[in-house]
Amino acid sequence: MKFAVQSRNDPQSNELMERAISYLTDFGLEIDEEKPDIVLSIGGDGTLLHAFHRYSHILSDVAFVGIHTGHLGFYADWKPIEIEKLVISIAKSDYKVIDYPLLEVVINYQNSDENYTYLALNESTVKSPEVTLVMDVELNGRPFERFRGDGLCVSTPSGSTAYNKALGGAILHPSIEAIQVTEMASINNRVFRTVGSSLVLPAHHSCVLKPVKAKDFMVTVDHVQLLHKNVKSIQYKVAKEKVRFARFRAFPFWQRVHDSFIDSDLK
Ligand code: NAP
């Protein structure tokens, strides 16, 4: 089996990375940065986002596992003191692979056949370089609303505990194949109207955002932010690709939600 390690690059994560590489190579595993079977991410959830984007072209062949060197993470749920236990399980292939849904983002441009397709593990957001974002929202090809406000966030189920949660969106269990559209400070008064609630769309639905006047938008895909000019539309749907995680033990999602947001010491 071949492995790669992604570190947050702080002293503790780098030290753990050195130990993981030495243990795994002692067990006869081969380090392969290009085409690993398993990627060990050491840092936080942000580090796993970086690892995901580094290997997003080989998602069907690679499984991710995360060790957290800060607080408990959603993707990074192993403690540094468990590293030996973890590498033994990796070496013995003593794990199950579970997969989570991803978000597909397709950006089309005015006067061009060119488009860009991205995959998000957490979410994609759209904001305006001007003060207010104004975009028409279509659901399954039908006009739904004209959005005016700070921006829109479209998240995956596993990303629902990240930016989406801070915006008041619901937490979705990652076994649900869906995406969630959540508003950022919409303008709502007698003249302007949006639905106000988060929308959860199933896998066969799509959400398309179309510019009204301004055509340039700040679009994020996880930790990556780019200014896209002359945008014609931004399409969101559940991706056909999935992300695979190596699971070595039961750690139910709702337990992770509890431990992260309520109380990590409560028994
Ligand atoms: P960052 O500022 O380092 O990360 C923001 C925080 O989000 C970190 O505490 C990170 O955990 C946490 N996080 C990431 N994915 C998560 C998940 N699925 N569930 C719960 N928490 C999660 O930025 P970054 O490392 O470049 O990460 C980009 C992410 O930041 C975006 O995908 C977005 O979700 C998040 N973000 C959140 C807000 C907000 O909450 N208001 C605003 C902007 C962006 P770790 O410390 O373990 O890495």
> Which ranges in the chain belong to alpha helices (H)?
11-26, 45-54, 83-91, 163-166, 253-261
> Does 140 belong to an annotated binding site?
no
Strands 123-127 and 142-155: antiparallel
> Does 111 belong to an annotated binding site?
no
- Report which protein residue has its CA nearest ligand 1's atom 3: 46
If you measure from the C-alpha of residue 159 to the centroid of ligand 1, how many angstroms do you get, rounded to a whole number?
A: 9
> Does 185 belong to an annotated binding site?
yes
Pocket mutation for ligand 1, best pick of 122, 150, 261 (most atoms within 8 Å of C-beta): 122
- The single residue listed with the structure tokens 């659901």 is 139
Question: Which of the 8 DSSP states describes residue 170?
Answer: P
pLDDT by residue for the chain (267 residues), tens only, comes to: 999 999 999 999 999 999 999 999 999 999 999 999 999 999 999 999 999 999 999 999 999 999 999 887 899 989 999 999 999 999 998 899 999 999 999 999 998 999 999 999 999 999 999 999 999 999 999 999 999 999 999 999 999 999 999 999 999 999 999 999 999 999 999 999 999 999 999 999 999 999 999 999 999 999 999 999 999 999 999 999 999 999 999 889 999 999 999 987 654
> Does 45 belong to an annotated binding site?
yes
- Report which protein residue has its CA nearest ligand 1's atom 5: 46
Q: How far apart are CA 38 and CA 1, in angstroms?
A: 8
The alpha-carbon radius of gyration of the chain (Å, integer) is 20
Backbone CA torsion sign across 120, 101, 175, 168: positive
- Report which protein residue has its CA nearest ligand 1's atom 42: 163
Domains observed in the chain: 2-95+248-263 (3.40.50.10330), 101-240 (2.60.200.30)
Strands 217-221 and 224-228: antiparallel
Atom of ligand 1 nearest to the CA of 123: 32
Catalytically annotated residues: 45
Q: What tokens does 253 get?
A: 């999602």
Q: How far apart are CA 109 and CA 167, in angstroms?
A: 28
Ligand 1 is surrounded, with C-beta below 6 A, by 44-46, 49, 70, 73-74, 122-123, 158-159, 161-163, 166, 222-223
- DSSP E strands, the chain: 2-7, 30-31, 38-43, 63-68, 76-78, 96-109, 115-120, 123-127, 133-139, 142-155, 178-186, 199-202, 206-211, 217-221, 224-228, 231-247
SS3 state at 61: coil
- Report which protein residue has its CA nearest ligand 1's atom 38: 163
Phi–psi pair at 95, nearest 5 degrees: -150, 160
User: What distance lies between CA 127 and its chain's CA centroid?
Assistant: 18
The pLDDT score that the predictor gives to residue 265 is 65
Report which of 50, 51, 153, 52 is spatially closest to residue 100, judged by C-alpha positions: 52
Atom of ligand 1 nearest to the CA of 159: 18
DSSP codes, 97-119: EEEEEEEEEEEEETT-S-EEEEE
- The single residue listed with the structure tokens 């509890």 is 258
If you measure from the C-alpha of residue 162 to the centroid of ligand 1, how many angstroms do you get, rounded to a whole number?
A: 6
Report which of 134, 164, 139, 115 is spatially closest to residue 236, judged by C-alpha positions: 139
pTM here is 0.96
The pLDDT score that the predictor gives to residue 58 is 98
The pLDDT score that the predictor gives to residue 238 is 98
The pLDDT score that the predictor gives to residue 72 is 79
Q: Are 134 and 147 in contact (CB under 8 A)?
A: yes
